[in-house]
Structure 1
C-alpha cells in the first residue's frame, strides 16, 4: 500500500542513488547530471504551472535556477579554458544569466513560453556537451 512514508522513502532512495552516481562520476558526467537536473526541474515547474500549484511551481523553478547558477555557471573556468576558450566561457556565462532571467520571468508571470525557451537553450548546450563526451570515448 502507498503511504506518505513510502513516498519519502522512495525519495530518499532516489537521492541516495543520485549521490552515489555523482560520487563516481567524471567531471563531464557531473555536468551532464546538472543539465538533466535542470531539465527535470523545468519539467516539474511546467507541470505545477499547468496544475495551478503556485508554491510547487516556485520551488521547481528555484531548483532549476540554483542548478544553472550554482552548478553550471559556477562550474565555468576561464583559466582552464585558456586564451582560446575565454570567449566561450563569457558567452556561456551570459547565456546562463539569460536562462536564469527567463526562469524568473516564467515564475513571476506564469509564462510557459519562458520555460520552453529556457529549456531549449539548456538542451542545446547539453547536446553539444554530450557530443564532446561521446567524441572523447
Structure 2
C-alpha cells in the first residue's frame, strides 16, 4: 500500500512554504499561476482516466487559486489591466466549470492557454519592474 504523504511530498511542501514566506507579491502570483498550471495538467489526466472524484477535487483547487488571484486584484486602482485580468479569471472559471460538467479536456486546454499567456505577461512585468 502506498502512503499518500511520502517524505518527498513533505519536503516539497516545506520547500514551497519557505519559498512563499520569502517571496515578493509578484513572485507569489507566479507561484499561484504555476500551481494552477500544474493542477490543470493533473485534471486533464483525471478526465482522460475517468477518475471523476479526483477531477472534481482538481477543478476545485483550480477554482480556489483563481479566486485567490482575482481577490488580489486592485480593481479600483488597477485600471484596465486589473479589469481585464478579472475578466480573464472569470472566463477561465467558466471554462473549468464547463470542462468539469462535460469532462472536456479541450476546455481545460483553453484555460491552460489563457493562463499561460497571463503568466508570460507577469513574467515580463517582473523583468521590467
Distance 1:27 1:107, change over 3 A: same
Provide the TM-score with structure 1 as the length reference: 0.87
- How far does residue 6 in structure 1 lie from its aligned partner after superposition? 7.3
Residue 102 of structure 1 corresponds to 95
CA RMSD after TM alignment: 1.5
- How far does residue 5 in structure 1 lie from its aligned partner after superposition? 3.6
Residue 34 of structure 1 corresponds to 32
1:90 aligns with 2:119: no
What are the superposed Cα offsets for residues 13-65 of structure 1, whole Å, 9 maximum, x if unpaired?
A: 21111111000001100000011010011010001111111111111111111
What are the superposed Cα offsets for residues 68-88 of structure 1, whole Å, 9 maximum, x if unpaired?
A: 11x21011013443xxxx122
In the alignment, structure 1 segments of 5+ residues that lack a partner are none
1:74 aligns with 2:76: no
1:62 aligns with 2:60: yes
Provide the TM-score with structure 2 as the length reference: 0.92
1:122 aligns with 2:115: yes
Aligned length: 129
- How far does residue 134 in structure 1 lie from its aligned partner after superposition? 1.5
Equivalents in 2 of 1:53, 1:6: separation in Å? Answer: 17
Residue 18 of structure 2 corresponds to 20
In the alignment, structure 2 segments of 5+ residues that lack a partner are none
Structure ID, larger Rg = 1
